[in-house]
Structure 1
Amino acid sequence: MGVMVLSSVNSERTRRVSRAATTMLGLRVRLATTPKLASWLLTVLVAAFGGMLRFIRLGEPHAVVFDETYYVKDAWTMLQTGEPRNWPEFLTRNTLDYPIDTLFANGDTNTWLSSAEYVVHPPVGKWCIALGMTLFGGAGNTFAWRASTAIAGTIAIVIMIRVALRLFDNLSIALVAGLLMSVDGVGITLSRTGLLDIFIMAFVLGAFDLLLMHRDWARAKLRARYAIESRRRDARWVPDTSRHARRARRMQTGDHPGSERSQAMLLDSRGPVIAFSWYRVAAAILIGLATGVKWSGIYFMAVFCVISVIWDAWERYRAGYRSWLSTGLLCDAPLTAVYMLPLWAGTYLAGWTGWFIHPDSYMHDWAHTHPGQGVMWLPEGLRSFVEYHKEMWQFHTTLDAPHDYKANPLTWPLQVRPTSFYWEKISGHPGLCSLAPHSQCVSAVTSLGNPLIWWLGSLCTIIGIGIAIARHGDWRIWAVLAGFLGGWLPWAQYLNRTTFTFYSIVILPWIILAICYVGDAVRRRVNAGTWRITLGTTLLLVCLVSAFFYPIWTAMPVPYEFWLSHMWFKSWI
């Protein structure tokens, strides 16, 4: 009897295992036959992992951290009054004077002054912070004022994966990009702090993805039209005498320079108009939002528009049209500018709506109180607006105040001088401090990128340029370099300005894409086993370094000696 029961139990267990195996096999088959579903599922899993690193203990430290003193309080008063307001430096409570930031972090959030504050950045980023406060519990909740940055950082992981997938057409490379974004220290700390720069990165990365989508759409439209036009009886053809065609013929057939064998032909036609797409409309709006966070978005607008028009022209040539360059420069470029520039500028202006509608906003009445001054042909409101922007421009171009964490922009990719957002001694021995009861316990938030990611990315950028030159051009590396042109090189003109390494968050995606570019080149030249070992070893080392630094990125209580062990160079302290 017992044998029969045991046999029945084993039989039922076997059936369960068989059903589970069948289910898993079915899932694998469905994922294999639906690559889009698989890629999106894996994208969500990687983003969920990155989101976990950003949201766990998001409310720590329970304090106003670094420049949160400006942006968080501005966001709160914008919610309450429509415009940023000044705050007192100290307030008296029970006969003792307390810093306003200490009181604010503990819920005393309604002590702003009636006067409008002079702010030096546009309002969009602060409205993003305000949205988080609205959704997650108000100003006295540190989680709430950091929620929007954590959401933006998590969404950026999703966009990063999709961008890499469009560039390299390889899911493993795309997932590597998302994982590197997930575990990098600059990405984590900026996602966990109520500052503005993470929004710029997310907006411009989204715009870049949309421009890649426009490129795919334009390529499909050009090739579809070419297939129709090339079959017409009256189609006219001309030889392709470009240097690119001659080089391609030599590589394919071994022809010598000047040989006419295997002469390629181009269709003597301009092809369809591809200047307008809804992808570009959305991209212009996103870059307008980025500019509405900080003016550095202007540089991305310039670089991305140029490279997108170049892509259009090159796709005309690849499709087989003759007048590809002249059409790109004389037709596509002006038509693109006609609608993208107004959309970008209009989005930026829309971010200032609160300033226009509130009569007590900063410098709102400047034109009224300064008759005969400013740009006289403008209405009073716009004249005041322009003058305010002149003041902001003066501030940004002349700021050279000394600061302990000032960092030359040329050193950002190497993370030479990271920014300490927060460092405090803690009484007692909570958390990891319990492992060293005789040591001082400290809590820190250091905006330091994962050194392996940034150092390897800087090296891969240089290697990538070399590969592109050796290949006589590769549009993907120039796409990667476009991010550096828009996010980093413009700062080279302000080497004496007070800047900080955490501004480098805007070039983090391009650092990662440079790694992916070189990784993709290696993948194509080695066997599958060597590639898996190389990839696995690199990712393991990167993740171990991130695990080591994670406590000092997220204000975990640690022994002082543990914190000091992370300061590999004096410039990191």
Structure 2
Amino acid sequence: MADTAVTERPAVPTRTPPDVLHLLNRRAPWLLRHSGWLGPIAVALFAGVLRFWNLGYPNAFVFDETYYPKDAWSLLQQGYEGSWASDANEQILGVPQHIPLGPAPAFVAHPPLGKWVIGLGEYVFGLHPFGWRVMVALLGTLSVLMLARIGRRLFGSTLIGCTAALLMSVDGLHFVMSRTGLLDGVLMFFVLGAFGCLLIDRDRSRAHLAAAVADGADADLVRLGLRPWRLAAGLLLGAACSVKWNGAQILAAFGLLTVLWDQAGRRAAGARRPLRSMLRRDALPAFASLVLVGAGTYLASWSGWFATTGGYDRNWAEHRSGPGPAAFRSWWHYQSEMWHFNTTLTTPHTYQSNPWSWLVQGRPVSMYWQTVPTGQQGCTAPGGCTTQILALGTPFFWWTACFALLYVLWRWFFRRDWRSGAVLCAVAAVYLPWFGFQERTIFSFYMVVLVPFLALAVAQMLGALLGPPGCPPRRRLVGGVAAGAIVLAVMGCFLFFLPLYTAQVIPMTDWQDRMWFVSWI
């Protein structure tokens, strides 16, 4: 019997799939070279289209727009906030000059800078909804661009930075507050900008320290010299305080953060006594850069009040003796009255809430509401329609952020991850002080300042879910699918609630479908 020859099929040479980055570098090197800006700009443009679309609707004062746009117009016209006739409180009369503005001063509970920002839009476009919302929308859009760049610097990944920015661009609270002429969106912009400046200062000061040590200097003795990015942070934090006073607690927390970074930087450079070295050479310049510059910025924001004589309490000290110029003593008395008002306000409000409920969006604020009968404004539903603006954070995003904060806390506590510590510092500075106002009338939309840092926390968690570039491809694939599914779920949730963010006329039954909890009504 003849031997049966076993014929083996020749091996087919396998080809390793080309690396995506390699392909980009070969075919479109400019794209890879500028991805650190192109990606953030693309996300910011997406956010801008959302925020500027039909910005002038509704043609009415939305929630506290009945105060701040009028105050802004007063500042433009006379340098201080004046009183308004009662018939201007609930309607727009068209031409700005037709709205009766009285010369009598009005007591205002917040510093003037946020209203000056709103007033820039009114100066260009007039006193109507688009005019008083345009600057807030612009700052909301720019904050998305800033967050992408901040995330890129913080985590060393354009993908993670753009993911954080994309999540913020589709958060309902950030979206609504970017389309409303209130102060909190302006405050958020300045706080985020200060955080980014301190990150740049951290990187540059460490590079300077490393270069000095490489040249033979003692890490304990190196002086870091002028630090313009920390000065810029002080300017922005002073601007935050000049919008709302809760910027002061953020200034204090960021000041502590930056000097702790200095101490850690000196330790990493080989300093024998990093704490003593930081206290001797970094603490006082940090105080001057943040606190003194911030205080000067705050004082400058009141220049309209000082330059005129008709502002509230402007002449309070004229016939009262005391040290210092009368104008300054009058101003100080005004500050004390603002403090008393802001710390003792307990008037009940339908939409007030407790900070314990804010992270889970337990009680969002209805900023605008109208019932639309069948046959009007395009309503064809038998049960009638409604139109509403609800300051509700995208639920899937905020609920994911609760888990992300736990992950970031774990990273900071057990892994000593400085990036997680930076995010947690910002979260604590923005959020925790509100627990001290259990009796005060407060609202969940204050947390728009928190949104950028929640987005950073979620993006960091999604980056960990994706895995580092060196991990097995199957691990990256599974992690990428999971991370992508979370992002798509957040975007889908935002789209579902979009009618409640933009005052679209929808059937009452559709509105009821979106009221997932009784506390949202």
TM-score, with length taken from structure 1:
0.83
> For residues 37-76 of structure 1, what are the structure 2 equivalents within 5 Å?
37-76=34-73
* Residues 1:172 and 1:29: Cα distance change in structure 2 (over 3 Å): same
Of residues 161, 174, 195, the one that matches 2:161 is 174
**Bigger shift: 319-328 or 174-183?**
319-328
Is contact 1:281–1:343 with CA below 8 Å preserved after alignment?
yes
Aligned to 2:456: 513
Cα shift at 1:385: 0.5
Of residues 539, 546, 551, the one that matches 2:499 is 551
* Residues 1:85 and 1:170: Cα distance change in structure 2 (over 3 Å): same
CA distance in 2: counterparts of 1:503 and 1:534, whole angstroms: 31
Cα shift at 1:73: 0.7
CA distance in 2: counterparts of 1:342 and 1:25, whole angstroms: 47
Of residues 75, 78, 94, the one that matches 2:75 is 78
Is contact 1:276–1:336 with CA below 8 Å preserved after alignment?
no
Is contact 2:39–2:158 with CA below 8 Å preserved after alignment?
no
CA distance in 1: counterparts of 2:411 and 2:120, whole angstroms: 44
Structure 2 residue 17 is matched with structure 1 residue 29:
no
Aligned to 2:103: 114
- Partner SS, residue 367 of structure 1: coil
> For residues 223-234 of structure 1, what are the structure 2 equivalents within 5 Å?
223-229=210-216
CA distance in 1: counterparts of 2:68 and 2:333, whole angstroms: 22
* Residues 1:429 and 1:315: Cα distance change in structure 2 (over 3 Å): farther
Which sections of structure 1, spanning at least 5 residues, go unmatched? 1-23, 91-98, 231-267
* Residues 1:333 and 1:425: Cα distance change in structure 2 (over 3 Å): same
CA distance in 1: counterparts of 2:404 and 2:42, whole angstroms: 27
Cα shift at 1:48: 0.5
Aligned to 1:399: 345
Structure 2 residue 245 is matched with structure 1 residue 295:
yes
CA distance in 2: counterparts of 1:194 and 1:511, whole angstroms: 23
Structure 2 residue 421 is matched with structure 1 residue 421:
no
Cα shift at 1:523: 3.0
Cα shift at 1:321: 2.3
Aligned to 1:89: 86
Q: Give the letter for the 2:459 counterpart.
A: C
Percent sequence identity is 37
Q: Give the letter for the 2:31 counterpart.
A: L
Structure 2 residue 446 is matched with structure 1 residue 503:
yes
CA distance in 2: counterparts of 1:428 and 1:154, whole angstroms: 36
Cα shift at 1:531: 2.2
CA distance in 1: counterparts of 2:375 and 2:271, whole angstroms: 71
- Partner SS, residue 289 of structure 1: helix
Is contact 1:125–1:292 with CA below 8 Å preserved after alignment?
yes
User: How many residues in Structure 1 have an aligned counterpart in Structure 2?
Assistant: 494
* Residues 1:549 and 1:109: Cα distance change in structure 2 (over 3 Å): farther
CA distance in 2: counterparts of 1:425 and 1:280, whole angstroms: 50
Of residues 454, 458, 461, the one that matches 2:398 is 454
Cα shift at 1:429: 5.2
> For residues 453-532 of structure 1, what are the structure 2 equivalents within 5 Å?
453-471=397-415, 473-524=416-467, 527-532=475-480
* Residues 1:104 and 1:326: Cα distance change in structure 2 (over 3 Å): farther
- Partner SS, residue 443 of structure 1: strand
- Partner SS, residue 561 of structure 1: helix
CA distance in 2: counterparts of 1:570 and 1:460, whole angstroms: 26
Cα shift at 1:269: 4.3
Is contact 1:105–1:142 with CA below 8 Å preserved after alignment?
no
CA distance in 1: counterparts of 2:281 and 2:209, whole angstroms: 15
Of residues 126, 136, 140, the one that matches 1:138 is 126
Structure 2 residue 315 is matched with structure 1 residue 315:
no
* Residues 1:57 and 1:384: Cα distance change in structure 2 (over 3 Å): same
Q: Give the letter for the 2:81 counterpart.
A: P
CA distance in 2: counterparts of 1:351 and 1:181, whole angstroms: 29
CA distance in 2: counterparts of 1:273 and 1:323, whole angstroms: 15
> For residues 226-375 of structure 1, what are the structure 2 equivalents within 5 Å?
226-229=213-216, 269-274=219-224, 276-369=226-319, 371-372=320-321
Q: Give the letter for the 1:389 counterpart.
A: Q
Q: Give the letter for the 1:48 counterpart.
A: L
Q: Give the letter for the 1:138 counterpart.
A: G
Q: C-alpha deviations, 1:20-72, integer Å up to 9, x for none? A: xxxx997622223x1xx112111111000011111101111110110000001
Q: C-alpha deviations, 1:383-403, integer Å up to 9, x for none? A: 101100000000001001000
Cα RMSD (Å) of the superposition? 1.9
- Partner SS, residue 514 of structure 2: coil
CA distance in 1: counterparts of 2:166 and 2:37, whole angstroms: 14
Q: Give the letter for the 2:30 counterpart.
A: R
Q: Give the letter for the 2:161 counterpart.
A: A
Cα shift at 1:464: 1.7
Q: C-alpha deviations, 1:93-126, integer Å up to 9, x for none? A: xxxxxx6321446767431222011101000000
- Partner SS, residue 328 of structure 1: helix
CA distance in 1: counterparts of 2:171 and 2:60, whole angstroms: 23
| Larger gyration radius, structure 1 or structure 2 | 1
CA distance in 2: counterparts of 1:281 and 1:56, whole angstroms: 36
CA distance in 2: counterparts of 1:413 and 1:193, whole angstroms: 21
Q: C-alpha deviations, 1:261-304, integer Å up to 9, x for none? A: xxxxxxx6414212631001111001111111000110111011
Cα shift at 1:485: 2.1
* Residues 1:498 and 1:469: Cα distance change in structure 2 (over 3 Å): same
